[in-house]
A = this chain, B = another copy of it.
Amino acid sequence: MDARQAVDTMVVYLGQNGLKMTAQRRTVTEVFYDPDLRGAHPTVEELYIKVREADSRIGYATVYRTLKLLTECGLASARRFGDNQTRYEPTSPDDHHDHLVCSKCGAILEFEDAEIEKLQDVIAARFGFSLTDHKMVLFGEPINGNCETTCNKSEH
């Protein structure tokens, strides 16, 4: 999903809830969906800095509030990777990816694995539960010790 589609989705969501699209909300949404931030998993602060570059009059609270709206309408997900920092990433409804974090350099890699998802369902069922969500983060070190090459790969 690109920035324009995200903005459109926001407009619909806001409309359905008696809320309004504003210049600030548009800016935050666009920055959040900017291709520059692809795979960046930015913190609120990182996002705030980028937002400020686009419009220096936008306040911290507005970024928080807009991020909350984006999360509510499924356009954003909050993630936490053990470093006491909440990070956000754009999401689509059909997106089920999880993360692998390099414990050496902190790089965050994404992957999706149907087999693990299936197993998670089986485990939940074993307890009499139907799975509604899951969080999984793997932590590891490059086998060859080289983050430069190992942590910069993209798709798997």
User: In the complex the two chains form, is A134's CB within 8 Å of B137's CB?
Assistant: yes
Residue in B closest to A128 when the chains form the complex, CB atoms: B150
Known A-B contacts A119-B113, A137-B134, A137-B135; A156 and B127 likewise in contact (beta carbons under 8 Å): yes
Interface residues on A, range: 35 or more
A103 / chain B contacts, CB cutoff of 8 Å: 132-133
Question: Residues 89-132 of chain A: 1 if any B CB is under 8 Å from the residue's CB, otherwise 0?
Answer: 00000000000101100000101010110011001111111111
- What B residues does A128 contact at CB under 8 A? 142-144, 150, 153
Q: How many angstroms between the C-alpha atoms of A48 and B4 in the bound complex? A: 50
Interface residues of chain A, those whose CB is within 8 Å of chain B, are 80, 82, 100, 102-103, 109, 111, 113, 115-116, 119-120, 123-144, 150, 153, 156
